[in-house]
Amino acid sequence: MEQQIMPPVGYRLPAPAREAEIAWPEDFGTRFTVFVDTEEEFDWTQPLRRENRATQAMRALPEVHRLFAAHDVPASYMVDHPVVTCPMSVDILRELLADGRSAIGTQLHPWVNPPFEEIVTPRNSFVGNLPRELEAAKLAMLTGAIAAAFGRRPVMFRAGRYGIGPSSLSLLAAEGYRVDTSMRSGYDYSAEGGPDFTAVGNHGFWTGEGGLAELPLTTVYTGAARSGGVGLYGALGHLPKGRGIAARLGLLARVALTPEEMPLELALEAIRVAAGEGVRMLLFSYHSPSAAPGYTPYVRDAADLRAFHHWWEAAFGLLARLGIAPASHDEILAALDRAALARGGVRP
């Protein structure tokens, strides 16, 4: 019988220690990578439901993959339980992996990932709010299903809704994961019962849990007042329409590296700013249902889909001009091994 689970409130990630920052090998250069939240479809305006497990938008994923391949950009497909248990979706992904550089990772949506011992509520949609034993069981079941489907145990992870909690990193390390990508730099989900990442910057760091590295999703502040960063952005949130006014005036905008709700010109400026600030690994992302019209608020029709494709074309063009090359899943792991060796042979 499902029971209401009272989650911890106010989980705030501390700023990583300076000495924990990953020192990427010099010859690795400044790189970028793309993670795809490869998931089921659901109505983003409605409450989450266990029954929402359809994956029809997966049929459109090869078209986006071809766009990426034309720019020699691999992707890491972070698959969740409805995707990995759908034979059609697995077949599509196996075809995409034939490029030899793309790879499979893990994304955990607890509301559609067994075992089902919790009531589906907004707070319980953040897997880190669940009891440690239940979070571990869901993670183990999903990891095993992915390994069985693709013949390779996943080592990169993302929590759905970025919903890690106090136990998450240690559970990932115990399950053999090497990279977590659940932290969204500069974002705060605590009002919904989720984690607060406002103290987490854009630089990758060692978590201190076994050999687990954290690669935060890149968030950049642009505009004349960008030096105010997360503090000023937070203060503007307390003023009526403060953030919108600041963005329109060119004073301050918070930009995540995704075509979903992020205007192209702001994203291109964010790429320039991140490179200028010495961010060595830029992380881009999108949700797989955005590959087809009508499944997400970001791609509602054919015009939105054309804009989605154009966003990627323009971003890849700028990255190439700046000399920022794509990094594959396996290239990142190899670079992390070298970074660990330079620190003394172990990943802290």
Q: What is the pLDDT of residues 284-330, one digit of tens each?
A: 999 999 999 999 999 999 999 999 999 999 999 999 999 999 999 99
d(CA 52, CA 134): 21
Query: Residues 86, 55: contact at Cβ < 8 Å?
Result: yes
DSSP 57: G
Q: How confident is the model at residue 4 (pLDDT cuts 50, 70, 90)?
A: low
User: So what's the pLDDT on residue 338?
Assistant: 97
Cα-Cα-Cα-Cα dihedral of 274, 35, 195, 268, to 10°?
30
d(CA 18, CA 216): 15
CB-neighbour burial class of residue 344 (10 A; exposed 0-12, middle 13-18, buried 19+): exposed
Q: How confident is the model at residue 7 (pLDDT cuts 50, 70, 90)?
A: very low
Percent of the chain at pLDDT above 90? Answer: 95
Query: Residues 39, 289: contact at Cβ < 8 Å?
Result: yes
User: So what's the pLDDT on residue 344?
Assistant: 76
Residues 6+ apart with CB under 8 A from 66: none
Q: What global pTM score does this model have?
A: 0.95
Over residues 56-64, mean pLDDT: 98
| Whole-number average pLDDT of the chain | 95
Q: How confident is the model at residue 3 (pLDDT cuts 50, 70, 90)?
A: low
Domain 30-218+280-342 top-level CATH class: alpha beta
3-state secondary structure of 272: helix
User: So what's the pLDDT on residue 343?
Assistant: 85
Domain ranges for the chain, please list them.
Answer: 30-218+280-342
